[in-house]
Each structure stands twice: as C-alpha cells, then as structure tokens.
Amino acid sequence: MDSFILREEDYAIRIIVFLATVGRQVKTDEICKSLYLSRPIVVKIINKLKSGGFIVTKTGKDGGLTISESTPEASMFDILSCMGFTGKVNACTSDHAACQLLPICKINRLFGDIQREIEERLKRAKIKEFLFNGNELFTKSKSMQEV
C-alpha cells in the first residue's frame, strides 16, 4: 500500500469540493480540465458518488452534474466511505482474530487509538470547510492551460 487514502478516494473528495465551490451545474469535461483528471476515472468516480447520493446528474444536451443539497454538510469520511474507503492502520484494529496477543497487546491499543482519531477527524471535517477559492481555482486552471 502506497497511501492510506487511495487515488480514487482522493479524487472523489476533490470532485465534490470542486462542485461545491462552483455551485452550479457543470459538464464532466469541465471537471476533468479543472482538476487535471482523465475522463474515464472521473466517470467512474461520478457513478459511485451518484449512487451514494452526493451528486445529481442530468442527462442530455443541457445536462451536467451538481452536488445534492445535503452534500456540503457531508463529512470527508462519508465521501471516502462511499468510495469504499477501508483505511485501517493495522489489521488488528478491525480483525481481532488476526492476533493471539490481542488481550495483552499495548501495540493494538495504540493502533486502535490512532484509528479512532483518524476516523473521528474525518467525520468532523465537513465538505463546506474545504471549498476552493473560486478565483484562484479558475485563474490557476487558465494559467496552466497557457503553459
């Protein structure tokens, strides 16, 4: 495992924050362009986020994506969970049968405490707290295209 939060989980958070920042319906291509992501990965993520109720899609010529009304109040943990987040510090924090030393293991207690702290912080972190500065986002996106 290279990272605790997988690439798709990270992108999902960024897509949700982007949509919350712009506050309007956008096309998939705009998300790809603004966040420097490929269309196949964005489509895959959008489908999961739509299934989780975080994104509303409209098909057709005038279609696009918006976030659902409740999404800004959702937590980072909610988004990560929708994407299949299983970030465990150690197997022993969730699979107690994995270790015979569990009843006396202080290491497990440390890992368990860390796991709980991470999950609690992710649950407290609301999407609305992480909105991009819209002007900076679009200025940076435009300047990157000119390079």
DSSP assignment string, 84-107: T----S-GGGT-GGG-TTGGG-HH
pLDDT the model gives residue 73:
97
Residues in the chain: 147
Lowest mean pLDDT across 3-12, 24-33, 62-71, 90-99: 90-99
Largest CA distance in the chain: 63
pLDDT the model gives residue 87:
82
Q: Which fold has domain 7-86+126-146?
A: Arc Repressor Mutant, subunit A (1.10.10)
CA gap 143, 147 in Å, rounded: 7
Condensed to tens digits (0 to 9), the pLDDT of residues 20-73 reads: 999 999 999 999 999 999 999 999 999 999 999 999 999 988 999 999 999 999
Q: For the chain, how far is it from start to end, CA to CA, in angstroms?
A: 34
> Among 25, 17, 19, which residue's Cα sits nearest to residue 76?
17
Query: One-letter amino acid identity for 63?
Result: G
Token pair in block for residue 93: 């924090």
CA gap 92, 103 in Å, rounded: 11
pLDDT the model gives residue 127:
97
Asked whether residue 112 carries a pLDDT value surpassing 90, the answer given is: no
> What pTM was computed for the model?
0.84
